[in-house]
Amino acid sequence: MTFEAVLESLRGVAKGSTHSHTGLWVSDQLRQRIAAGDLTPGTKLSEEALGEALGVSRNTLREAFTALHAEHIVTRIPNRGVFVARPAAEDIREIYRVRRFVEPAAVLWHEAAPVDELRAVVADAQYARARGDIAGMAGANQEFHRALVARAGSERLDSLMKQVLAEMRLVFHSMGSDPAFHEPYVADNARVLELIAAGHNAEAAELMRDYLNRAEAQLLAAMAHELH
C-alpha cells in the first residue's frame, strides 16, 4: 500500500471516529497500519500530510511519534524527519525475549479459554498456504499470536502484543517474499492448537518456546546474510 493510500484510509477513519483525536488515538492508528504492513520500514511519516489526514495538530502528532519512538516502531533522524523504523539484530533479540516470556505463559495458564478464534485463524493460514499467498500466511501467523495472548483477557497484555506485533511486521518485511520462512509456522500453529484443545498445555508451551527460538535464529541469520 502506498503512503497516499494509507493517508486516504486515515481520512476515512478520522471522519467516522467518535473518539477524541488525542496522541494516544493517533499512535494507535499508525501502529495498526505498521502492524498490517501498510507502512513499511523506511517510510517517511510526513507531519503535514498525516496531520491533515487525521485532523490533528502538529503537537498531537508529535505526541504520537514520541510514543511510537519509545516502542521502537519509528525513528527520528535529525533534520530529516520521522521514519518507520528498520529493526536491527538487537531489536530482534529483545522482541523474542519478550515473546518467550509472554506466549508460552499464555499457552500454559489459560486452559479454560475458548479456542474457536484460534481455529479460525489456523484455517485462514492453511487456506493462504494452499494458495501460495505469502502475505496471507504471514498475516494469519501474526494473528494467531495475538489471539493466543488475548485468551488471557488482559488489556495490558493485549496492548503489549500490539506493540510486539507491529515491530514483528517490520522485522518480517525483509522475509516477505520467502515462503520457506512462513510455511513451517502454519503447521506449528496448527499443532499448538491441537495440543491446547486436548489439554496438553505444558507440551504446547514447550513447542511454542522451541518455535520462537527457531524463528529468532532464522531471522538473525537472514539479517546477517543481508549485511554480507
Instruction: Dump pLDDT digits (tens) for 15-43.
Output: 877 667 899 999 999 998 988 888 989 99
Q: What's the rounded Cα separation, in Å, for the pair 201 and 33?
A: 33
pLDDT (tens digit per residue) in 170-224: 887 755 556 678 889 999 999 999 999 999 999 999 999 999 999 999 889 888 8
Name the domain boundary from 42, 63, 84. Answer: 84
Tally Cβ neighbours within 10 Å of residue 87.
22
Q: Give the residue with greater pLDDT, 114 vs 160.
A: 160
Q: Is residue 27 domain-shared with residue 96, that is, in the same domain?
A: no
Q: What HEC string does 145-174 produce?
A: HHHHHHCCCCHHHHHHHHHHHHHHHHHHHH
Q: Is residue 119 domain-shared with residue 205, that is, in the same domain?
A: yes
pLDDT (tens digit per residue) in 132-182: 998 889 889 999 999 999 988 899 999 999 889 888 888 877 555 566 788
Q: Is residue 180 domain-shared with residue 110, that is, in the same domain?
A: yes
Q: Is residue 79 domain-shared with residue 106, that is, in the same domain?
A: no
Q: Is residue 16 domain-shared with residue 97, that is, in the same domain?
A: no
- Provide the pLDDT for residue 27: 93
58: confidence class by pLDDT, cuts 50, 70, 90: very high
Averaged pLDDT, 79-85: 94
Closest CA to 29 of 169, 162, 176: 162
Q: How far is CA 184 from CA 82, 137, 145, 146, 212, in A?
A: 35, 10, 15, 18, 12
User: 12: domain CATH number?
Assistant: 1.10.10.10
Q: Is residue 45 domain-shared with residue 137, that is, in the same domain?
A: no
Q: Is residue 142 domain-shared with residue 35, that is, in the same domain?
A: no
Q: Is residue 115 domain-shared with residue 215, that is, in the same domain?
A: yes
User: 199: domain CATH number?
Assistant: 1.20.120.530
Q: Is residue 121 domain-shared with residue 144, that is, in the same domain?
A: yes
Name the domain boundary from 84, 113, 136. Answer: 84
Q: Is residue 44 domain-shared with residue 98, that is, in the same domain?
A: no
- Provide the pLDDT for residue 169: 84
- Provide the pLDDT for residue 226: 67
Q: Is residue 134 domain-shared with residue 31, that is, in the same domain?
A: no
- Provide the pLDDT for residue 179: 65
Which structural domain range is residue 8 located in?
3-84
Structural domains counted in the chain:
2
- Provide the pLDDT for residue 213: 96
Name the domain boundary from 84, 103, 118. Answer: 84
Q: Is residue 192 domain-shared with residue 114, that is, in the same domain?
A: yes
Q: What's the rounded Cα separation, in Å, for the pair 26 and 32?
A: 10
